[in-house]
Amino acid sequence: MNSRVDWVAHMVLALGVLLFALPVWLVLAGSTQEADAISRGELSLIPSLSGLHTYADVLLRPGREGAPPVWHMLMVSLGMALSIAFGKIVISVLSAYAVAFFRFPFRMAAFWTIFITLMLPVEVRIIPTFAVMANFGLINSFTGLTVPLIASATATLLFRQVFLAVPDELVEAARMDGAGPLRFLRDILLPVSSANIAALFVILFVYGWNQFLWPLLVATDSSLDTIVIGIVKNIGTETQTEWNQVMAMAVLALLPPVAVVVLMQRWFVAGLTEGEK
Amino acid sequence: MATLELAGLRKSFGDTAVLHGVDLSLADGEMLVIVGASGCGKSTLLRLVAGLERASGGRILLDGRDISAVDPSERDIAMVFQNYALYPHMSVFDNMAYGLRIRGLSKAEIASKVDDAAALLGLGDLLTRKPRQLSGGQRQRVAMGRAIVRAPKLFLFDEPLSNLDAKLRVQMRAEIRQLQRRLGVTSLYVTHDQVEAMTLGDRLLVLHQGRPAQLASPMEVFDRPADTYVAGFIGAPAMNFLPAVLTRGGAAARLETGAEIAFSDGDRPGPDGRRLTIGIRPEHLSLGGDDLALTVDLIEPLGSETLVHGRPAAGVHGRPAAGVHGRPAAGVHGRPAAGASVVVKLAGHAPVEWRGDQRIGVRLDPVQLHVFDAETGLRVEPVIR
């Protein structure tokens, strides 16, 4: 009876995997086929090796209407995702450190102010943020693209919880050893929280990579096109859409986040199992 | 190598006073154990000395220098924490070296100091390990090593053995004592374990609700407890308490059973009828007398000794013994808790096969009586004539 339950469970799991993997496979297969064939609805599930040149085409050749080549878009996306992930981590570690370990006037007020911004989604504050960036003259700049996305209530709250879980005795032992606040942060707190930082980095990188609305608004100059923007721009032009190119771009856009998740996952799972606070 | 002096040390958290003024003075190289039930303020006292908390009043003098307002890192004090508080991401070597690195010692100096401490503690082979790869006893040693390498003026121990299993605790207890003697560092040791308190301390401070109840050598505290709280706290099983009144012009106490016990060490002051609490340790009760009658509730054979728990029954003298009680309720001076049993400790195996509801007669050793005032709980000394 047990083996029968196992069999059913495996079937359900296999179905689930298929459900998630099939669209990705379809994109992968489609990217290697003729644009005309896809338009006619003759999308084969078997990739054709002869169509691999599409990747070289989109990567290296400039696109239509002055669009940069995909390698450039990937670099912009990478730069943006890394800036946002690192920026968020630095800012939120510092603010969480202040809120969790120090007693200062209006500490709880500061905490609640951060907390309340959680309740405002990006879309709500996107117009005022745009106005601020415009006044600073940061439209169509890399700074304008990344800085507004760096402030993060979620990461601050998460680190605050992580820091509150650090035993008081550890803090006190460091004080007795003579470690000042910044030394404690660098020598004890950050290494102890490294697993959490790694986990958050993965989430934030993917978050930054997938940004669409803000880059669309703030960067109209095509030299600042991210890969996500590039894909969208490539669809729905007046002329016929080159679906094989769009699919190749989608596959390329998929690779860096997947690489980060795969690489970092090993690292932070190891950190989690070893980690002892 | 230092002396420590506390003068009128007080601490309140908000409206709650935790320490009501503690005066204390430690000689150079002395180990003083602070003992008390949880919540008595002993850990707070230690944290005040360490500088982890600010005192609400009073002064702390280390080698004559007032350190009450000095940062913990500047006090030249090392502390061993209950949970060891080792840095989990650092090796044993780095854990011990961290404080020295912050003080800016050279690499060679650090290495030699850490190696010395590691050799002293038998940690030489473990220096590259991480704390999670160590056993409880080894972690404890690393925590001690971290304190030792800094060669501080004062060691503070905050219940360092409470997370170890019983066997290891006995071993580490002996090691701590030997180490402290060898290094000759003045030490404050906080514990709730009275065996640790008795064996480790040159002197003992019994804290009760934020006030010092007694400060004396362990044997003095055991032999002449200052009040019923100390008497009930030190010694296992705990001392039995029996209500009594003064009689025969102060020469004897009459228990509620009617039995009269003459004081062997002199008369107690006060009029006949003065209400007393007689304390007697379980090992000073023996079978076969008629001072007290017990209905046996429970027998605990421990091999080398046997504990007999009994309820005071109607006295042998024919009087009901409803008012005869056991140990005092925690925290209330001289108010023995009703219904607690009397414990008799007998050497060896149980002399007979006991059965439930058995009646036994018990004799009190008159030489070993402790006499307390029933109202204040304070010890009543004999009048010197």
A159-188 residue pLDDT tens: 999 899 899 999 999 999 988 899 999 999
For chain A, the farthest-separated pair of C-alpha atoms sits apart, in whole angstroms, at: 74
B103 with A178: Cβ contact below 8 A:
yes
Amino acid identity at B160? P
A169 with B82: Cβ contact below 8 A:
yes
- % pLDDT > 70, chain A: 93
Give me the tens of pLDDT residue by residue for chain B, a chain 385 residues long: 689 999 999 999 988 889 998 999 999 999 999 998 888 889 999 999 999 999 999 999 999 999 998 998 889 999 999 988 999 999 999 999 999 999 999 999 999 999 999 998 989 899 999 999 999 889 999 999 999 998 999 999 999 998 888 888 888 899 899 999 999 999 999 999 888 899 999 999 999 999 999 999 999 999 999 999 999 999 888 999 999 999 988 899 998 878 888 898 888 998 889 999 999 999 999 888 888 888 888 888 888 888 888 888 654 444 333 333 333 333 334 344 444 588 999 888 776 666 666 788 888 888 899 999 999 999 999 887 6
Which ranges of B224-337 does DSSP label H, i.e. alpha helix? 228-233
Structure tokens at A97: 């450190």
For A100, the 3-state DSSP assignment is helix
Q: Choose among B77, B84, B87: nearest Cβ to A188.
A: B87
Q: Which residues pair with B305 in a beta bridge?
A: B347
Mean pLDDT along residues A32-49: 81
pLDDT for the residue B291 = 83
Alpha-carbon gap, residue B38 to B210, rounded angstroms: 11
pLDDT for the residue A2 = 67
E strand or H helix at B174: helix B166-183
- Confidence class for position A78, pLDDT limits 50, 70, 90: very high
Alpha-carbon gap, residue B290 to B363, rounded angstroms: 6
Residues of B in contact with A188 (CB under 8 A): 87, 89
Alpha-carbon gap, residue A98 to A110, rounded angstroms: 10
Is residue B286 within 8 Å of residue B345, measured between CB atoms?
A: no
A172 with B103: Cβ contact below 8 A:
no
For B62, the 3-state DSSP assignment is strand
Q: Is B348 or A273 the better-scoring residue by pLDDT?
A: B348
Alpha-carbon gap, residue A174 to A168, rounded angstroms: 10
pLDDT over 90 (residue A37): no
Alpha-carbon gap, residue A210 to A190, rounded angstroms: 27
pLDDT by residue (tens digit) across A183-215? 999 999 999 888 888 888 988 999 999 999 999
Residues 6+ away with beta carbon under 8 Å from B332: none
B102 with A177: Cβ contact below 8 A:
yes
pLDDT for the residue B352 = 61
What DSSP designation does B58 have? E
pLDDT by residue (tens digit) across A233-271? 888 755 677 888 888 999 999 999 999 988 887 766 655
pLDDT by residue (tens digit) across A218-228? 988 888 989 99
For B345, the 3-state DSSP assignment is strand
pLDDT for the residue B313 = 67
Instruction: Tell me whether B139 touches chain A (CB under 8 Å).
Output: no
Is residue B61 within 8 Å of residue B186, measured between CB atoms?
A: no
Residues of A in contact with B73 (CB under 8 A): 175-179
Q: Where do the DSSP E strands lie in chain A?
A: none
Pairing assessment for the beta strands B57-62 and B4-13 based on DSSP bridges = antiparallel
Residues counted in chain B: 385
For B213, the 3-state DSSP assignment is strand
pLDDT for the residue A163 = 92
Is residue B166 within 8 Å of residue B195, measured between CB atoms?
A: no
Alpha-carbon gap, residue B246 to B313, rounded angstroms: 22
Alpha-carbon gap, residue B293 to B278, rounded angstroms: 16
Ramachandran region of residue B159, left (φ > 0), alpha (ψ -120 to 50) or beta?
left
Is residue A226 within 8 Å of residue A76, measured between CB atoms?
A: yes
ipTM of the complex: 0.78
Alpha-carbon gap, residue B299 to B309, rounded angstroms: 6
Instruction: For residue B102, give Cα distances in angstroms to A50, A190, B151.
Output: 64, 17, 15
For B298, the 3-state DSSP assignment is strand
Q: What are phi and psi of B298, to 5 degrees?
A: -160, 140
pLDDT for the residue B249 = 87
A169 with B89: Cβ contact below 8 A:
no
pLDDT for the residue B78 = 92
Q: Which residues pair with B240 in a beta bridge?
A: B280
Q: Which residues pair with B301 in a beta bridge?
A: B306
A178 with B99: Cβ contact below 8 A:
yes
Q: What are phi and psi of B122, to 5 degrees?
A: 70, 35
Residues of B in contact with A167 (CB under 8 A): 83, 85
Q: Choose among B78, B86, B90: nearest Cβ to A176.
A: B78
**In terms of CA atoms, which chain B residue is nearest residue A171?**
B85
Q: Which residues pair with B35 in a beta bridge?
A: B191, B206
Interface test with B, best of A162, A175, A177, A196 (most B CBs within 10 A): A177
Alpha-carbon gap, residue B40 to B34, rounded angstroms: 10
Q: Choose among A172, A178, A183: nearest Cβ to B85.
A: A172
A-proximal residues of B, 44-103, CB under 8 Å: 50, 52, 72-74, 77-79, 81-90, 98-99, 102-103
Q: Which of B217, B218, B229 is nearest to B372 (CA)?
A: B229
B88 with A167: Cβ contact below 8 A:
no
pLDDT for the residue B333 = 41
User: Which residue is listed with tokens 């049993």?
Assistant: B341
- Dihedral sign of CA atoms B114, B118, B123, B124 in order: positive
B81 with A275: Cβ contact below 8 A:
no
What average pLDDT does the structure give for chain A? 86
Q: What are phi and psi of B359, to 5 degrees?
A: -100, 135
Which ranges of A235-277 does DSSP label H, i.e. alpha helix? 243-274
